[in-house]
Amino acid sequence: MPCEVSTFVEILRNPKSAQRAAALNDLFRAAEGGCTYTVAEACLDLLQKDELRLEEIAPHAGSILEYWNRVHAVAAQMQQHGPDTEWILEDEYTAPRAEAELLLDLLGYLPAEAVEPFLEEALRLPDPRLKCFAVTSLLRHGRVLDPDHIEYVAASHEMRLILMEQLQGMDLQWLMPERWSAPELLAASDLVRWAAHPNELGVPPEEIELMEIFQVGNEGENPENIYLFRFREYPRPWATGEGWMAGIAGPVKDGRSLGSPWSSFKRWDSMTPEEHFEKLYYRGSCC
């Protein structure tokens, strides 16, 4: 975070500071100076932690919506409808996608009457990540939505667990479609999210399949399920094993991931399911 932005943010973290209004004005002037994303990110963090009040941010909603309109214009041009989702992984889409996600999340904390038309427009975007945050922000504003919008997001391996976490944070987990609430499907989403991190695979796997369920736990305790998957970025009929790799996730309880998803990206056909599980689950103590 740039030094001047961090200074203004620290003032805003103090609820008793007499400089709050000035600091917020300075924060948005920093946005005009080229720190737009950083300022939006800071505002979202402050609002989520109740360190910034709605009445304080409301006068700046217009500036945030101007930023959203610029980002939306770019992101909307890159959207593609249909079963092919490889366009989401294109390098030129990475930045506008990240900005759009942040802003859609932020709009959930701004005055409803100002932002709802923009969130409704975002519901039409086929990218499940952007649709997810349009959905959750509208729900945060108390809107009743067509269940098809929630179904669309929940069907995405990349977004399923994120959606569940967002719903749980609003005590709306009952809105999660039952067919996508199964522990193994949330575990699959957890592994996909882990694999998509830049330090790992870097992209969400396009395909993932549950292969085995292993029960673990000390004697006398209730066993927990660990899910063994195989996954791949996209079909590779020319590659050995068609690109399938092994990974684990779980346990999952009450819609929450309690474990650490993991893969060493070993080829699925290089070992038996039992061998994959042993090497992945006990990675810290053996093998």
- CA-based nearest residue to 160, from 135, 141, 137: 135
Whether omega for the bond prior to residue 237 falls within 30 degrees of 0, making it cis, is no
**Where in the chain are the domains?**
53-179, 182-281
**pLDDT confidence of residue 61:** 97
Rounded Cα distance between 135 and 172, Å, is 12
**Tens digit of each residue's pLDDT (9 = 90 or more) over 145-173:** 999 999 999 999 999 999 999 999 999 99
What does the DSSP 8-state code read for residue 199?
A: T
What confidence score (pLDDT) does residue 130 get? Answer: 98
Sheet holding 224-232, edge to edge: 207-216, 224-232, 245-249
pLDDT, position 83: 85
| Backbone phi and psi for residue 209, each to the nearest 5 degrees, phi listed first | -135, 135
What pLDDT was estimated at residue 221?
A: 76
Rg of the chain over CA atoms, in angstroms?
Answer: 21
Q: Which residues contact 263 (CB under 8 A, 6 or more apart)?
A: 191, 194, 195, 200, 201, 231, 245, 246, 247, 248, 280
CA 40 to chain centre: 17
- Residue 254 to residue 84: CA distance in whole angstroms: 32
Q: Are strands 245-249 and 224-232 parallel, antiparallel or unpaired?
A: antiparallel
| Sequence-separated contacts (24+) of 37-44 with Cβ below 8 Å | 37/99, 37/102, 38/1, 38/2, 38/5, 39/5, 40/64, 40/67, 40/99, 40/102, 40/103, 40/106, 41/102, 42/1, 42/5, 42/8, 42/9, 43/106, 44/102, 44/105, 44/106, 44/109
Residue 68 gets the label, from left (phi > 0), alpha (psi -120 to 50) or beta, of alpha
The percent of residues in the chain predicted with pLDDT above 70, rounded, is: 94
pLDDT given for residue 239 in this prediction: 58
Q: Supply the pLDDT for residue 137.
A: 98
- Give the number of residues written for the chain: 287
Task: Calculate ∠ Cα 235-237-242, nearest 5°.
Answer: 70
Beta bridge partners of 272: none
pLDDT < 50 positions in the chain: 284-287
pLDDT of residue 219: 64
pLDDT at 285: 43
